[in-house]
A and B are shown apart, each in its own frame.
Chain A
């Protein structure tokens, strides 16, 4: 094998060093500072994904969850969540994120937008989507202190679910809401019920929910 001239070797080493130095001075890549852009229609996302709708739906969720909840435009957020759900209507990710992440914001107005999204989408597939509306009912009662809203959500679970897979405690959510129990007790009962039935199998989701429960315990104490 021939030896390359020394100046070429020097040029290669210097250019690599310059590349590393350039990147060393740049800030780490972050989500756009301008905030969440408006969501494109689901049909456009389907076209852009060349038919890989299931993958596109999940990539949309990874993109959306990268934004800081504080200062997020919830109207736009709901557009993205709706698009993700339209791409894969059987995916639980958009409703999970809406109920468990975005609705738990300290901003009540933003929380209501996320809960309304969960409520509207629940009606399209009640037997599959009731766990997120059940959580929405708890949030409406304990975070928003809006008992009529919590009862409306609880009543919707009872009225619209048909499958025998829906547990009794979920159907009787309205009684559960009216009982004088604090948020921690209610969350424990709900999580316990879901775990007992094997509804939560994903290790990441389990870790996330346990972490949320610990946070709640600290806050209640």
Chain B
């Protein structure tokens, strides 16, 4: 199966490209951070360690994967390796989905590696749910980064666009709360316009603040329905981005 072979090659490339070493460095920095925090907390030292280390590892995982996807995809384009691959008797959807599957597998491996140190600090069930959620979140990040890398064909704009979409997805609920209850919550035209704009943007974004929540590690696992709804929204958005990527890749003159 060509897509599976391509996926395996992508994972192998990530392994040889030093991604595991970077992940190990992030985990080491997280462990040092946890050791420092355990000294400065007056109470809830375990909760403090979990909260900060989980947030740090999540941010590291997203940044590492987005940067890896953008740079490897653009290197493939610059080296004409992509053109060479497209000359093979394998359809473009298989090529695209194979790459994406490999990158999602890299994300899943990163999620598993980053969840392992948290299992020392938090209940295993909560860590497992957190890790699964992070793996799916990273699969979405990989899909977004692949889409932007193939569309924008420049590393800095591709990474910036991925980071922008990700951070907006993380903060859109807080922005909506500010627009709805802050100083612009009056009934003036400007207030209505601001609320409408934020609401419209929210429709186009994934609710990333609802997934991979640190609170699950501190205060216990979420209700099943809430967890499934959060994961479901990730999967749905992943399908949207993948479809957009496939559409763009099919139309590309390569």
Interface residues of A (CB under 8 A from B): 41, 43-44, 46-47, 50-55, 57-59, 62, 65, 88, 90-93, 96-97, 100-101, 202-205, 208
Contact = CB atoms under 8 A, between A and B. Distances in A.
Which of B42, B45, B51, B54 has the most CB atoms of chain A within a 10 A radius of its CB? B42
A54 B171 contact: no
B219 A47 contact: no
Contacts of A90: 215, 218-219
Contact of A51 (B47, B54, B208): B208
Contacts of A100: 42
A51 B38 contact: no
Interface in B162-193: 167, 170-171, 173-175, 177-178, 181-182
B174 A58 contact: no
A54 B55 CA distance: 9
B60 interface: no
Given A55-B54, A88-B215, A43 B177 contact: yes
Contact of A96 (B37, B42, B178, B215): B42
Nearest to B52: A55
A52 B214 contact: yes
A51 B209 contact: yes
Contacts of B54: 55
A101 B43 CA distance: 11
Contacts of A208: 42-43
A202 B44 contact: yes
A147 to B, nearest CB: 29
Interface of B: 37-38, 40-48, 51-52, 54-55, 58, 167, 170-171, 173-175, 177-178, 181-182, 208-209, 213-215, 218-219
B178 A44 contact: yes
Contact of A205 (B43, B170, B174): B43
A202 B43 contact: yes
B174 A202 contact: no
Contact of B47 (A47, A58, A59): A58
B52 A51 contact: no
Contacts of B215: 53-54, 88, 90
A205 B42 contact: yes
A208 B44 CA distance: 12
Nearest to A90: B219
Contact of A202 (B46, B181, B218): B46
Contacts of B218: 54, 88, 90
A58 B48 contact: yes
15 contacts: A43-B177, A47-B178, A50-B167, A51-B174, A51-B208, A53-B214, A54-B51, A54-B215, A55-B55, A58-B44, A62-B48, A88-B215, A92-B44, A204-B41, A204-B43
A54 B46 contact: no
Contacts of B42: 65, 93, 96-97, 100-101, 204-205, 208
Contact of A50 (B38, B52, B171): B171
A58 B51 contact: yes
A50 B170 contact: yes
A93 B44 contact: yes
Given A47-B175, A51-B171, A202-B46, 20 more contacts: A43-B174, A46-B174, A46-B177, A47-B178, A51-B170, A51-B173, A51-B174, A52-B51, A52-B58, A54-B51, A54-B215, A55-B54, A90-B215, A90-B219, A92-B43, A97-B42, A97-B43, A100-B42, A101-B42, A208-B42
